[in-house]
Amino acid sequence: MAIDFSLNPEQLALQRDCREFAQRHLRGVASAFKHLPTPGERYLATQPIYEEVVRAGFLRRMIPRPFGGEGNGLLDMAIVTEEFHSVDANVSLTLLSSLLGLMPIFLGGSPGQLERLVQPFLELRGTPVASLCNSEPGGSANYGAPAPAVGVRTTAQIEGGDWVINGEKKWMNAGGWDGKGADLLCVVCRTDPQAPPSSSISLIAVEKPTQGFELVELLDTMGNRAHPAPRFRLNNVRAPKGNLIGPEGQGKDIIDASFTSTAALVGIMGVGLMRAAFEFALNFARTEKRGGAKPIIEHQAVGYALADAKATLEAARYLGWAACDAMDRQTPGAPELALHSKIFGSEASVQVITQLMGVVGIDSYDHELPLASLLQDALVLPLFDGGNMGVRRRQMHELMMQPDYDPRAASTTVST
């Protein structure tokens, strides 16, 4: 089979639509929140723009066709991610975090759950957000570790036909626009505190809590300044018994699969940020003399830096595309490729943007130019959606320790 990295006509149309929309609507996001002092105010300033994203059908186009959307899988999601993230990471993250919030429903939801819970996100109106509520204060990297590890501390018990959930979570966009809870929360909890994680971690869907959701604070993060990072409590939050996603106690596999499915998109986020940084630095080098006689692009060191940045950018993109395509076709090495994309693309973005700041010089440290903000947004990529240190130590290490691990599987083109 020939290797073909070209996009089909439908994907090219999607790319064009995303690029035009981003230039028209996302270009002004930074100025909309630039002078607002609090995370909540900055987030609310993006709501009208996110509403335009929904109205234009991009949330619907991210949801795969089997679940009622118009998307053809992760490769379509990668196209949207790069085009949006290259212009604004904040609204882009609101869109992508909602996609992650829906992922457990896609992977483990019953037909009835899929029809009922996904439907609000298919509408071309409003500003629906979903959240996968996994991380907890104190960290959740070892959420599946057996005793004496603490693991997941949020609990859920059946009372009168409902799940009653108690616990504290952090980081994911779960507060919604009003701070009272997102439209859909997929809550990771322990449904049998006495059982080991392999048989006690469950996922429960909570539809817009009417009571019991307490927003403790919105963290004032270094980057993604207009995308919320909340700390919140669930105090006797109730959800119908039928909102259990998948079998009780078997949620770990769904959670792991949710993060693996979106891992490659984190690498593509890095591609978007690198692309924005490269295009700015290239134009800067072509037009700025910095007190010299010629534009600085004519200096050999600048040419080398730009060439290295572009090579890394292209490598990260094609690795991400290959990973998304492999996940869509369920090839044997797809999970490994997705993790490679996450690690490589996220870490490359930090390195490349830093190097391009060297091309521009001290002015790049000023927020009047975009590179400082791009670096701030990039720094989170190696840390979230499973930190790269943990991804290497757990997923990659465990994968390679398996007796049947095939080091050539990641390059296969044969579907299972």
Task: Tell which residue, 198, 147, 138, 189, has the closest CA to residue 167.
Answer: 189
3-state secondary structure of 249: coil
Distance CA 62, CA 71 (A): 5
Question: Residue with structure tokens 């059982």?
Answer: 195
Cα separations (Å) of 380 from 14, 23, 30, 172, 387? 27, 24, 18, 13, 9
Task: Tell which residue, 314, 317, 380, has the closest CA to residue 97.
Answer: 380
Contacts of 264 (CB under 8 A, 6+ apart): 74, 78, 320, 323, 324, 327, 337, 338, 341, 342
Catalytic residue from among 220, 385, 404, 406: 385
Distance CA 335, CA 14 (A): 25
Distance CA 306, CA 183 (A): 44
Distance CA 15, CA 7 (A): 9
Task: Tell which residue, 286, 270, 354, has the closest CA to residue 319.
Answer: 270
Count Cα neighbours of 343 within 13 Å in the Cβ-side half-sphere.
14
Give strand pairing partners of 240: 162
Q: Does residue 385 have an active-site annotation?
A: yes
Spacing of C-alpha 118 from chain mean position: 18
The 8 Å CB, 24+ separation contacts for 30-37 are 30/88, 30/373, 32/226, 33/90, 33/225, 33/226
Residue 378 · residue 273 · CB < 8 Å: yes
Distance CA 103, CA 266 (A): 15
Residue 321 · residue 5 · CB < 8 Å: yes
Distance CA 176, CA 218 (A): 12
Enter the tokens of residue 227: 């995308």
Active site residues: 385
